[in-house]
Each structure stands twice: as structure tokens, then as C-alpha cells.
Structure 1
């Protein structure tokens, strides 16, 4: 393996550390605002285009899909050619593609624009954590920087939803996609002025074939999970999942043979790498999935305005920010395992709370669920990101930061896709049962049945076309959406429970964690 371009260890902190950290956190904020912008606007988007639930799922998951499918490849490119340079390019591209999303003329164009927004985020987001790891030495300052980065990154999803809810009171749905633009411009200026270039990068060749395989592998897996649970797209989803599995095998084969692998399997096999990565993927994905399903539930079932729906999730952001500094201290005092399990407990409690939502759920009960989930995510995020970066040499930190990002983005894509698909399948199944039990079942055409089962927005369009049956259709649509949402929350709770088992079994206690990290450092120093 060729030697790193800058073999020196990172300084305790970079020059002007507060401005540098502000620039990097703003860069992460941009990406996460874009991830959340669509959720609050989904009912309006569905109404504007008459889109089915599967199409709305793709709009919601498009940004995280674009990020997840590109983050491994672009992380390696940044390590080799310049992290700051790729961050600048990603922020600039974000501004451009935001306009395409805002003025999309069709649901298909909007999905493509969202994926391109995610690819722009793939250029910027992983680099923000890479630069924190490269510019701050291991220890308390780096842990606190990562804690703040993690908290603000996750809170950005709440900020995005709140700001989108406010904008949509006066503007059309496309205004939600302009939210990140001023933050992107501010981050771009700060990055250009204050963030150092070419710190602890490497001179290894980039595995471009592995990068291409990783892009299509993640795309097939995420899109497959987003479509395989829906009856009308189940076959297509199965084909995508099989293709994704084949590409995964090819990717693993390529990484074993490549002279300079895109994803170093030697590092990925480390216990302090893969265990927190898996645990983080589940808990972060569950946070995104809960917000995705919850926004539709609140607006369509509870009758919230876009502002009320966005205000209801503010407690999640409050919980994240309040817990972040305590999470950093708890990691240093008790270790990653204890802190992550504590976070998992809170998130599981939040999902159990959501299982009791119904058509009469009061506003305060909704906010309690989000507050508990936010606290849990706040406890889980710092140890997951820190454990991954601590077990990776600085010259390959792009791989570590890409994996940390995949916890959010691949996890978010998968959980939004799965929970969205469960929501769609549950809605269609419940509505089908109600139609079959109706006195007018024999007189309803197959075309109308398909429209009623497609999504809540589609059912509302049918209700407008048949005013004599409007009340029955609205009532059936609401009941079907409740049934689908409860099924989605139940699946989310099961996923959280399984993730807690993985963390509890495979993450070591604090003393063993410190010993493993020391072993990794000695091993990397000898290579």
C-alpha cells in the first residue's frame, strides 16, 4: 500500500477551530435539510400530481437514495483528490439541483431531481465528518466536535420540516426545496475561506470499478425494498433485490482483489467498526422512517396543517440537542455500548408510543413520541460515529465517514422504503377489505378500486369525483391509513429490538473497547 500523502497526526485542533467547525456543520446541515424537506410536503405533492403511495415513497427516499448510492465512491474520491474540493463542489451543485426539484413538471422529474440532490449531498456530507476526524486529534475535543456534528445533523431534519411547514402555509410545495439554498451558500463561503485543504489525504488509486458496483448495488437494494412489499410492484422489487445481492457479491469479490480497495474489508471486519455501523444504521433509519410515516399520519388523519405537523416534531430536535453533550460525556465515561443501548431503549419506547396513535390522538401525545425518539437518537448517534472513526486510520477516514453517513442515509433509505412500503401495502390491503365488505362492491369498477387503493391522495381524488360516496370513501381512507401506519410502526419497533440485540452482543464494554482501539492503532502504524 502506498504511503499517505500526509503521514503526520492531526493537530489538537485546526486554526480558527470554531469557524472551521461551523463551516463543516453548516455543510452537514444542508444535506440533512434536503433529506427532510420532502416529508412535510408529501401530501401537497401527492395532491398536485395525483401520485400513488409508491411514487410518494420514491420522492421521500430519493435524496437519501442518491446520497447512499454515491457516498462510498465519493468518500474514496475525496480521500484521494481533496476533501475540501469535493465539499465545495457538492455545496455548489446543491444550489443548482434545488431549482430543478422546486420547479419539477412531473412526479418522475421530481424523483430524478431528488436523487441528484442526494448525489450532491454525497459529495459534501461524508467530507464534513472526514475533515473533523482529520483536523482534530483523537480525544475529548474530537469527541465533542463529533457529538455536535451528529446532533446538528440530525436536528436539521427537524429544522427542515419546521421551515418547510411554515413556507407551505403561503407558498406551493416547491418552496420546500429552496430551504437548503441559503445555508449552502453560507457554508460554501465559510469552507472556501477557513477550511484547510489536503490534510492527511492518501495517494492510493481510486477503485473506480468498485465505486460503480457500489452505486448500482445500493440503488438496487434500496429501490427493491421500497417496491417489493407493494403488490403491483412486488415482482420488480424482487428482481431489484436479487440484482442487488449479486452486485453485493461482486463488490465483495472486487474489494478482495483490488490493490487499493474502495472499502477496506480488513478494517470493515473490525468489531468496533461493523457492530456500531450496523447498530447506527438501524436506529438512524428508524428515526427517518418514523418521521416519514408520521408526517402523513398527522396531516391526513389528525388534520394538522403543514405548520402544526412540523411543530409537532420540534421536541425530537430539542431532545437531540439537549442530549448531545451528555452523550459525548457518557461515551467517555461508560463507553459506546452502554450509551448506544441507552439510546435504543428510548427509541423503542417512542415507537411503542406511536403504536397507540389513532384518529383522536391529542397533540401532546404526538410530541411525547417524537421527544423520546429524539433523546434516543441523540444518545445513539455519537458513539456510533465515534467508534467507526476511532477504529479507522486517518488516511482512510473517508471510508469511516462514508460508513457513518450510510448509517443515516442507507439506514434512512431502507427504513423509509420498508416502512413506506408497509404503509402502502397496509393501506391497500385494508381498503381492499373495506371495499369487499361494502354493499356497493359489485358495482365498483376495477379501475376505481385501483385508484382507491393507490394512496390516500388518490382516494381523495376519487371522493371528489363521486360526491355521493365522499363520506364513506374518506372514512375508509382514514381507517386504511391508520391500519397501514400502525403496521409500519410495529415493523419499526421490531427492527429497533433486533438492533439492540446486535449492539448488546457484539459491542464490547468500555475496557475492551479501549483495548481494541489501541490494537487497531498499533496494527495501522505497522502497515
Structure 2
């Protein structure tokens, strides 16, 4: 019986990029930097947004999740459009729209309008992200160069996450929360100027057709499942949530069947038959769920429980972000001689240890324990995602770089949604279950305190002593009680990612 040869991945014999290629990489890092800054800043701005706009618990989650939800639902569509009409063209359209809507979001007067702005940001953001990664695939055809370029590209996420809290902290201490959205304008203007000069246009010579039914099916498969997860996190299991899950499964099945039957599908489903591609996608998904969930509850803990300013809370997380950057760069030479099925699980062990440090750290270690935990967690995620992103691109044909990049970014953004919805929803549910309202607190104030930790902070300040201190102490204690279980769940997700990597990423070493 003949054995099937392993799926070939791109080798190192492609032409090497010159200086212009590396300058193009710098330009392509700008939208990645922006998206990362935006996500981190918003997490740190959430307490002030909650105090200013008084969102409900569900609205608070939607402020975070509306953007990545729409982004995840449209990434495959936008990736296909980029393959067909030009990836650089989509990048420039997305950058223009993203900058304009960011300026509008900065002045949103209500939680509902801010959520609407986040929806539009997701629409234009879906044009940005697949374009950057797929353009790297066409610029850096030599695999060694591409692996380093992807490590640098991925480091922009970490750099933005590190820069976001510092810049955002400064803005939040001197200006209103809306100022964090205005960061998009000075970041995207250089992109709009430099990209036409430095970044070559690329497209698929045989692109998938534009299929409105497939677009609707892909959105229909994404939105209900995330809504169901959010609904369960806020309101518990309901018939509506179950119906949404069923709808998502049915529409997802119809989408896959339509792609398999199409002569030129919008998304080439054959990509998912490659173990390295599917495995790397799952590693990205679970890693981002763990990372975003960690940032969701730690940012609130540092500011509201420990009492740090937004800037000081951001500085506390900078060592972890720097560790993520360094790990992504250091892993490149190691990956030349160690198989992905070994190096990725080994890296993720660090992230598991980071979560366990949070789960079992004693109260007296406070900030130091969180800083060390995030450093260890960042080492694992930075190394693992560099390898998984490179495998996603190298496993796909160059002409399908846009579609492959879109799937990779879909996993990333879906992970961001699930990180907030699942881990954020769990800790919110645990908080509500553990909160004991002190006797004497008026019913309307007690209702606000039960919604979120930020709601309790605002509610406590409406009371006179000693009820103010009693309510806040009860809220802080309830929030902290949920961190242990949430951290253990995060550790379990990372362990699952490590097992998947060990089983699926068994590709030959590249030399």
C-alpha cells in the first residue's frame, strides 16, 4: 500500500525580498498596530466608558464584542474580495473608512451609538487585516524571510498592546474616553501615503466568484453562535440561545456544502484538509481566547480592585507584552531545527503556568503576581502564534493567500469575541452570584451594583459612609472570588491548544 505524502509547505528556495520589501513590512505593520492598540485601549477605557455612558452588563460586553464579531463575520468575504480586486486596494479602502468611523466613535453620546460605531469599525477592519497578512505572502516568497517577517508582523500586535495602555492611560488621565478612538487617525494617515509607493498590488489570477448567498451564509453561521454564547454568559441557558446555536450549525453546514459544490468557491475548503492549516487555526483561536479573556478581567482588577490609574495599570502589563514580542522573534531560529509539533506545545506550557500563577497567587503578592503571570503567559502566546501564523500561510497556495489570511484572522477575531464572551461572561456570572448587597442599600443602587464591577464602583460612590465602603468591599471580594475558576478555565483552553498542536502540526522541519 502506498503512503500519502505529507502536504508540502513552501520551501526556502523562493526569491529573497530586497530593501523595499522590508519597508513595505513596516507600512503593513501600521494597521496591525492600530487594531492591537484599539483592543487594548478599549479594555482599559471600559471602566470610564461604563461610568460615562452607564451601559448594562450586556451593553458593556457588546461594546467590546461588536467590532470583532462583525470583523470575524466579514473577514472571509473581504479576503476573497481582496484576492479578486486587489489586496492593496482593499487595504486602502479599509484604512480610509476605519479612520473616519474612529473619529465618529470618539464622540458617541450613548452606549447604543458607540456599539453602532464599533459595528462599522468591524466592517472596515475586515478589509484591513486579511490584506496585511496576504500581502506579506506575496512580498516575502523566501520562507526564512517570510517567517521572520511574520514574527515582526505578529510583534506589532504585542507592541500595540504594550503601547496602547501607556498612550491610552495618558489620554484617559487628561482627556475623555473618546480620545482613545482618535488614535486611528495619526496611525492610518502614513499608511494611506506610503502604501501606494511601497506595497505592490497582488491578486489571485483565478479568484473565487462573488457569491452573495455564501456571504450571507458565512455571516449567518458566525453571528448566532456568538450571540448565543453572550446570551448564556449574561442570562443563562435559554431557548433563544439554543435556537441560535442550532441556526448557526445549520447555516454553517449550508455554507460548507455550497463551497464544496461550487466550481470556483468563495473559500477553498480543501485548505482545511491540511492538518497543519486546520491545526494552526485552532491553536490561534484557543490562544487568543485565553489571552483576551485574561486582559478582560486583569485590566478591571488592576484599576478597580487594586486602584491603579489606567496608565499605571498599562505599565504593569508592559513586561508581559515585551515578553510576547521577544518570544516571537527568538522562536524563529529555533523553529528551523525543531518541529512545530514540539515547539508550539512547549511554548504553550509557559502560558498554562501563567494562568495557574493567577489562579493560586495569594492576595499579598498583588500586582507582582499578575505581572509575573502575564510575562510567562506572553512568552507562550508570542512564540506559538508566530509559528502557527507562518504555517497557515505556507500551507496555502500563494494565489489563495487572501483566503488563507482571512481564515487566520477570523480565528483571531472569533477568539477575541469568545475570550470576552466566555471568560468575561463567566467572571461576570460568578461576580453576580457571589455579590452580597449590604443591608440598607437602596434597591435601584443595588441593581446597578449587580450589573458589573464598574457599575458597583459607580453605585458605591452614590452612597454615604459606611455603606459606600461596605458595598465596594463586597463587590471587590465577589469579583476576586471568580478569578480563580476563570484562570483555571483559561489554563485548560491553552492545554487544549497544546494537545492540538502536538497532534496536527507534524510537518517536516524546514532548513
The verdict on a shared fold, with TM-score over 0.5 as the criterion, is: yes
Task: Identify the match of residue 159 of structure 2 among 151, 155, 159.
Answer: 155
Q: 1:289 to 1:75 in 2, by over 3 A?
A: same
1:208-258 Cα offsets, whole Å, 9 max, x none, are 321222123222222322221223685544443332222212212221222
Who is 1:58 aligned against?
A: 62
- Find 1:285's aligned residue among 267, 289, 293: 289
Structure 1 unaligned spans of 5+: 1-8, 516-527
Bigger mean CA offset, 238-247 vs 210-219: 238-247
Residue 37 of structure 2 is aligned to residue 39 of structure 1: no
The alignment partner of 1:209 has SS state of: helix
1:184 and 2:188 aligned:
yes
The alpha-carbon deviation at position 460 of structure 1 amounts to: 3.0
After TM superposition, what 4+ stretches of structure 1 lie above 4 angstroms from structure 2?
232-236, 357-360, 443-449
State the secondary structure of the residue aligned to 2:161: helix
2:228/2:244 contact within 8 Å kept = yes
* Map of 2:257 onto structure 1: 253
Residue number in structure 2 paired with 1:5: none
**Cα distance change, pair 206–13 in 1 and its aligned pair in 2 (3 A):** farther
Q: 1:233, 1:110 → 2: CA distance? A: 27
- Match for residue 131 of structure 1 among 135, 138, 155: 135
The one of 437, 453, 461 equivalent to 1:456 is 453
Change (3 A) 1:186 1:106: same
Would the alpha carbon gap of residues 14 and 263 (structure 1) be closer, same or farther in structure 2, given more than 3 Å must change?
A: farther
**357-366 or 204-213, which deviates more:** 357-366
Q: 2:117 aligns with which of 100, 113, 124?
A: 113
Residues 338-369 of structure 1, C-alpha deviation per residue, up to 9 Å, x if partnerless? 22112211111111111135654433322111
3-state SS of paired residue (2:173): coil
Q: Note the 1:88-99 alignment, pairs <5 A.
A: 88-99=92-103
In the other structure, the counterpart of 1:387 is 391
* Matching of residue 174 in structure 1 with residue 178 in structure 2: yes
CA distance 1:306–1:237, shift in 2 (3 Å)? farther
Q: Classify 1:234/1:106 alpha carbon distance in 2 versus 1 (closer, same or farther; 3 Å).
A: farther
Aligned length: 498
Residue 311 (structure 1) aligns with: 315
Q: Taking structure 1 as the reference length, what is the TM-score of the superposition? A: 0.89
CA distance in structure 1 between the partners assigned to 2:236 and 2:228 by the alignment: 13
What does 1:160-309 align with in structure 2 at a 5 Å threshold? 160-231=164-235, 234-309=238-313
Partner of 1:519: none
Partner SS, residue 216 of structure 1 = helix
Q: Residues 460 and 239 (structure 1 numbering): CA distance in 2 closer, same or farther, change over 3 Å?
A: farther
Alignment partner, residue 490 of structure 1: 488
Would you say the 8 A contact 1:313–1:370 is kept in 2? yes
For 2:227 and 2:121, the matched residues in 1 are separated by 17
Coordinate RMSD, CA, aligned: 2.2
Contact residue 52 and residue 457 of structure 1 kept, 8 A? no
The partner residue of 1:415 within 410, 416, 419 is: 419
Gaps of 5+ in 2: 1-12
Per the TM alignment, residue 294 of structure 1 is displaced from its structure 2 partner at its CA by 0.9
Confirm whether residue 477 of structure 1 aligns to residue 475 of structure 2. Answer: yes
8 Å contact from structure 1 (residues 69, 215) kept in 2: yes
Change (3 A) 1:462 1:16: closer
Q: 1:496: how far off?
A: 1.2
Flag the 1:185–1:358 CA change in 2: closer, same or farther, 3 A: farther
Structure 1 residues 40-49 or 408-417, which shifts more?
A: 408-417
Tell me the CA shift for residue 493 of structure 1: 1.2
Q: What is the CA–CA distance in structure 2 between the aligned matches of 1:46 and 1:162, rounded to whole Å? A: 20
